[in-house]
Chain A
Amino acid sequence: MNWSEPQDFREWLSRLFSLRVILLAIAVYSLALAELRFDWVEQMLGAYLARTNSHRPQSGAIWEKGKDTLTARKTLEQIVTDRESTQRLARGAETLSEIAEALVPSHGVMVSAAHFRDLYLELPAAVAGDIASPFELLRIQSSGRWERTYFRKFGRSIKIFLLDMENRVLRELTVPPDLLGRLQQRQDFSQGVLEDFPHLKNRIYRAGRFFEALADQPEEIRRSILPAPERILALSRPITRVGVSDEALTGFVDIGLEFESEGKTMVMVLQARDWAVWRLRLDLEAAAPPLPEETEIDTGGTL
């Protein structure tokens, strides 16, 4: 089709108002009107953007804030998890050494006063007495203010805080590393014979001889060797042999009591004051030397 410029006004008008132009104008006008009325461009754009939303970056102030919140939550969750796991271990602990092992330097653990008392009563009397005097605990307990007990690791020691309801310290106890070592060494009832314990096997006495010598000692020495004889009496089993360690650790010497229980040989290890043990050993060895390793077990000694 050849294009030529209109030559007169009529031709201008006829071209301007031709059907094609009018239809085009109506179409354009309708589109514009429809856009103004129905926002179809925005609708289409919006729908497209919504569909592609998941592929776009999490950028902008709100996402940054969200990331901060997420990181903060994770950090807090980690702190809480760490604390709670230690706390759970402490609450489920059946011995004080379990709590000591669970402690980490960053935070302590809290248990009830009653739980601490139970753990304390489970300790050998010598160790318990070195942590706190039972009379002191009685005094604090009778004040009616002792509610909770807080354990915290300080270097190689452990501090135990007896607290009231407002977290005020009623008494602060320190368990130094050596005492901690004695706590962790403690193995009341282990299956085996005295010879299984290298530090006990050099000095093994017949139980009868041992307890006779013990009975001849003054009360102070007897109590320093066996501060709680009721616990041994409560075994209701005949003690067969007694092993005495050659080594003293921070003023204490291990003593092993061997006994039979339900067809098994068991050993109970106790801690005794070293000076008292030396005295007892003098009497024991003056009367008769320790049993040689191959000596047959004499089951005559009972308690």
Chain B
Amino acid sequence: MSFAFGLLRKLRLLFYLSVLFAGIAAAAAVGLFFVVLEELPKIPHPLSRIIETPPTEIFAADGQRVMVLGGREAVPLSRVSHHFINAVIATEDHRFWDHHGIDKLRTLKALYVTFFEPGKIQGASTITQQLAKNLFFSFERSWLRKFKEMLVAVQIESSYSKEEILEAYVNQIAFGVGAYGIEQAAHIFFGVPAADLTLSEAALLAGLPKSPTRYNPYRHFERARQRQRIVLIRMADVGYVPPEDARTAAQQELVLEPLRSSARSGSYFLDLVIDSLETQYGAQVVYHGGLKVFTTLDPQLQAWAVASVQDGLATLDGELGVLKAEADRRPQGALAAVETRSGAVKAMVGGRDYAETEYNRAVYSQRLPGSGFKPFVYYAAFETENLHPATVAVDRPVRIPVVGARDWEPQNFSRRYRGPMILKRAFTQSVNTIAAQIVEQAGPDAVIQAAQKCGIQSPLSPVYSVALGTSGVSPLEMASAFATFATGGIRHDPFWIQRVEDAYGHVLEERIVSGRKSLNPEITYQVVDMMQAVIENGTGEVIRRLGFRLPAAGKTGTTNDFRDAWFTGFTPTLSCSVWVGFDREDGLRDRNGRGVTGGRGAAPIWADFMKRAFEGEPAREFPVPDNIRFTAVDPRTGKPAGPSDPGAVQVALRPGQTPDGRILGSPALLPPGFDRRQEAP
């Protein structure tokens, strides 16, 4: 009996303690409520305000929308598949229609698990609580944050209908891969509007918000399908679908929409556009202002540029013996394509894979252009020294004294010297010693001026070696500068934004396409003619071997130890520069230790891209200025040759220029045995 009494006493004590604890808890809750009341956020009205941020849209030149920044593609609940709504409710909060913001039973269960099952944490957030958290709170985990979240959820339930809450919820869920809201997710994952989602598709999407990265179907398809099956089982358990329908849906094949290649492939270009917009308007306007940005991007050219760079680099990987897994040992590449008559950037590739590295080498890298700089050297010499393509120079060892430094002794790529030859031949064969003699005569400042007149803006050192491209430039600069040659000397600055409007169509800025006459058209043509010869029978003849047949001009470039391989060339309408090399200071050498030149590494990419870009296009010749006349000369003596002379070279001459065998340089520099008077009377 005394035992029973003791038990009753203990029970009584427990009861009173429980009452006391409940009282204290209730008092604490009320106190806490009034403490946090001031900190609770105001809830907007209407709740749909959350989806009113207008997106900034970026369009390609053909009007195709290639990117959306900020904003949400919201849809009313009536335009969302009921399968998706059921799937979300079954998975996230099956008592959604019954509770008032808080699922008390689930909360108690979660508390029990959290307190009494060590190592386990169970969530009990209702859809309304999740909405409150996403709209107003950080993702910091704390009891206080949870308490505030519950209060806001309760207020939301008191202020809005269940349908309004659900609509707001489905329009702001993050599904991963940049998809926010069900409409955008349905389009990205399945290429359909949210209204047309099937049970199988809806169940897959409803499973993603739990962990968009972990269940990303593009990376972990099987894991995402497993999650989809769980969602379907939940739907069947709750009674939203018959079990047999759930089973059928779980077995249905799911075909994911490919991630939009144009947006991905144009990511380097789009980064550049966004950078420019942020500089002009500030990040706040760019991400929240709902701009409409019309760019110069040609999506088709862009896709081809990406394909050409990736194919070219894959071939190069093979030649270098680099495995795909060795990501950091693989060479990089960049391409920039510019419309010659306007400067509009039509395509841009800043690296082999944007997902691997977002650094845009087409714009921001400063790589040495090597012989790719020679067109500026020859232009400067033709302009300031009245040299011409038939002027004779001697390929020989050269030593140029440099004040305060070691003498400069440039070497030819082949390490051989071929004696006298006309400048056109020296250019097409990319003879360094002759370029050095030219810059010695014309002076580095003249070369720098010529490059700057064409649009090179990177700092150039006023040293003799500038002739061999020893100052860094970017592929975009090179493409744009060579475009000045393509237009007969009219320079257009490169641009990538055509027009910017606000959300209501008011024009904020529009590009005026203005060209400046920078170069002498006749001298320019002489250089272009020589650049055409580079492709026909010079260091860039691989272009023809690879099947690009349209009139084109260009120049290869390779730097010391094969660190950079370039090809920059143009047709009358499109100028394109390709760079290949390692980000680190390594040279491009194949398995046999042979170096990769511009003609071998970059020119094939250029040829591949231009073949795709100009497929079916008619041949357009470079316009010849009126005063230019063509003469056949002997490539060694520079003197007129008969049309039937084997090996005769056609050169373009300006008025007053004659193929008289004039020799470049002072007699003191001539090699022994080469008598100037005999060879060039």
Residues of chain B lying within 8 A (CB to CB) of residue A80: 502, 506, 508
Measured in the bound complex, the distance between the Cα atoms of B44 and A59 in whole Å is 11
A68 and B288 contacting across the interface, CB-CB below 8 Å: yes
- Binary contact readout B104-147 vs A (1 if CB under 8 angstroms, 0 otherwise): 11000000000000000000000000000011111000000000
Q: Which residues of B contact A169 (CB under 8 A)?
A: 512-515
Q: Judging by beta carbons under 8 Å apart, are B288 and A69 in contact?
A: yes
A150 B41 Cβ-Cβ under 8 A:
no
Interface residues on A, range: 35 or more
Q: Which residues of A contact B52 (CB under 8 A)?
A: 69
User: Is A76 a contact of B289 with CB atoms below 8 Å?
Assistant: yes
A42-B154, A43-B158, A72-B288 given; A168·B38 CB < 8 A? no
Cβ contacts under 8 Å, A161 to chain B: 512, 514
Complex Cα distance, B148 from A59, in Å, reads 13
Q: Does B1 contact A (CB under 8 A)?
A: yes
A115 to B629 CA separation, bound complex (whole angstroms): 45
Which chain A residues lie closer than 8 Å to B154 at the CB level?
42, 45-46, 49
Residues of chain B within 8 A of A60, CB atoms compared? 41, 135-137
Residues of B within 8 A of A152 (CB): 512
Stretch at the interface among B73-81, B277-285, B594-602, B642-650: B277-285
B342 touches A168 (CB 8 A): yes
Determine if A236 is an interface residue (Cβ-Cβ < 8 Å).
Answer: no
A66 pairs with B342, CB closer than 8 A: no
Decide if A63 touches B515 in the complex (CB within 8 Å): no
Q: Point out the residues of chain A lying under 8 angstroms from B104, CB to CB.
A: 35-36
Is the Cβ of A69 less than 8 Å from the Cβ of B514?
A: no
User: Known contacts A39-B100, A167-B510; is A57 also within 8 Å of B285 by CB?
Assistant: no
Q: Which residue of A lies closest to B514 (CB)?
A: A169
Contact partner of A76 (CB less than 8 A), chosen from B49, B158, B285, B341, is B285
User: Which B residues between 25 and 49 are near A, CB-CB below 8 angstroms?
Assistant: 33, 37-44, 49
Asked if B631 is an interface residue, CB under 8 A from chain A, the answer is: no
Mark interface residues in A66-83 (1 if CB within 8 Å of B CB, else 0): 101101110110011001
Q: Is the CB of A9 within 8 A of B1?
A: yes
- Asked whether, in the complex, the Cβ of A58 is within 8 Å of the Cβ of B284, the reply is no
A71–B284 CA distance with the chains assembled, in angstroms? 8
Residue of B nearest to A47 (CB): B158
- Do A166 and B42 touch (CB < 8 A)? no
> How far apart sit A163 and B41, CA to CA, in the bound complex (Å)?
53
Range for the number of chain B residues in contact with chain A? 35 or more
Which A154-172 residues sit within 8 Å CB-CB of chain B?
161, 163, 166-169, 172
From 514 to 550 in chain B, residues with beta carbon under 8 angstroms from any chain A beta carbon are 514-515
Cα of A47 to Cα of B154 in the assembled complex, Å? 9
The reply to whether B100 and A42 contact each other, CB–CB distance below 8 Å, is yes
Chain A residues with CB under 8 A of B291:
76
Interface residues of A in 18-72 (CB under 8 A from B): 35-36, 39, 42-43, 45-47, 49-50, 52-54, 56-63, 65-66, 68-69, 71-72
Kindly report which residue of chain B lies nearest to residue A77, judged by CB atoms: B502
A247 at the interface (CB under 8 A from B): no
Contact residues in A for B288 (Cβ distance below 8 Å): 65, 68-69, 71-73
A170: shortest Cβ distance to chain B, in Å? 10
Closest to B137 in A: A60
Binary flags per residue of B53-67, CB closer than 8 Å to A gives 1, else 0: 110000000000000
Q: How many Å lie between the Cα of A126 and that of B42 in the bound state? A: 68
Closest to B135 in A: A62
Q: Does A189 contact B (CB under 8 A)?
A: no
Does B511 sit at the interface, judged by CB under 8 A? yes
Select one of A50, A59, A72, A168 contacting B136, CB under 8 A.
A59
CB <8 Å contact, B284 and A76: no
A residues near B281, Cβ cutoff 8 Å: 75-76, 79
Out of B40, B53, B514, which one reaches A49, CB within 8 Å? Answer: B40
The docked-state distance in angstroms from the alpha carbon of A73 to that of B622 is 48
- The number of inter-chain residue pairs (CB within 8 angstroms) is 143
CB-CB < 8 A to A62: which residues of B? 44, 49-50, 135-136
Give the Cβ gap from A147 to chain B, nearest Cβ, in Å: 13
Measured CB to CB, the closest approach of chain B to A62, in angstroms, equals 4
Whether the pair B510, A56 counts as a contact (CB closer than 8 A) is: no
CA distance A56 to B290 in the complex (A): 29
- B contact residues around A168 at 8 Å (CB): 341-342, 513
Q: Which of A56, A72, A80, A168 has the most CB of B within 10 A?
A: A72
Q: Is the CB of A63 within 8 A of B508?
A: no
Q: A42-B100, A47-B158, A69-B288 are in contact. Are A167 and B513 (CB under 8 A)?
A: yes
The interface bits of chain B over 537-571 (1 if a CB of A lies within 8 angstroms of the residue's CB, else 0) are: 00000000000000000000000000000000000
Nearest CB of B to A173, in Å: 12
Smallest Cβ-Cβ distance to B498: which chain A residue: A167
- Tell me, yes or no, whether A285 is within 8 Å of chain B by CB: no
In the assembled complex, the CB of A171 is this many whole angstroms from the nearest CB of chain B, namely 10
Distance of A163 Cα from B53 Cα, bound (Å) = 36
- A42-B44 in contact given A49-B155, A75-B285, A169-B514 (Cβ < 8 Å): no
In the bound complex, residues from chain A placing their C-beta under 8 Å from that of B668 are: none
Q: Given the complex of chains A and B, what is the CA–CA distance between A68 and B620 in angstroms? A: 51
A115 to chain B, nearest CB (A): 17
Most B CB contacts (10 A, CB to CB) among A42, A66, A150 go to A42
| Chain A positions 108 through 152: 1 when the CB is less than 8 Å from some CB of chain B, otherwise 0 | 000000000000000000000000000000000000000000101
B589 on the interface (CB 8 Å rule)?
no
Contact B101 A42 (CB under 8 A): yes
Instruction: Report whether B159 and A46 are in contact in the complex, using a CB–CB cutoff of 8 Å.
Output: yes
In the complex, A163 Cα to B291 Cα: how many Å? 25
Chain B residues with CB below 8 A from A50, complex form: 155, 158-159
User: Are B41 and A63 interface neighbours, CB within 8 A?
Assistant: yes
Q: Does B174 contact A (CB under 8 A)?
A: no
Instruction: Tell me, yes or no, whether A197 is within 8 Å of chain B by CB.
Output: no
Contact A56 B513 (CB under 8 A): no
Is A188 part of the contact surface with B, judged by Cβ < 8 Å? no
Tell me, rounded to whole Å, the shortest Cβ–Cβ distance linking A12 to chain B: 6
Q: Does B679 sit within 8 A of A, measured CB to CB?
A: no
- Decide if A166 touches B513 in the complex (CB within 8 Å): yes
A9→B38 CA distance, assembly (Å): 53
Residue-wise interface mask of B (1-22) relative to A, using a CB-CB cutoff of 8 A (1 in contact, 0 not): 1001100100000000000000
Whether the pair B42, A54 counts as a contact (CB closer than 8 A) is: yes
Q: Are B508 and A79 in contact (CB under 8 A)?
A: yes
The docked-state distance in angstroms from the alpha carbon of A169 to that of B281 is 26
A84 within 8 A of B: yes
- Minimum CB distance partner of A12 in chain B: B8
7 closest A-B pairs by beta carbon, nearest first, are A46-B158, A60-B136, A72-B289, A39-B100, A49-B155, A42-B100, A72-B288
Given A46-B101, A57-B41, output 9 extra A-B contacts at Cβ < 8 Å. Answer: A50-B158, A50-B159, A53-B159, A57-B38, A63-B136, A66-B49, A68-B284, A80-B508, A169-B514
Write 11 A-B pairs (CB below 8 A) sorted by A numbering. A36-B105, A49-B158, A53-B155, A56-B41, A57-B41, A60-B41, A65-B288, A66-B44, A72-B290, A152-B512, A163-B512
Which residues of B are at the interface with A, using a C-beta cutoff of 8 A?
A: 1, 4-5, 8, 33, 37-44, 49-50, 52-54, 99-102, 104-105, 134-138, 151-152, 154-155, 157-159, 281-282, 284-285, 287-291, 341-342, 502-503, 506-515
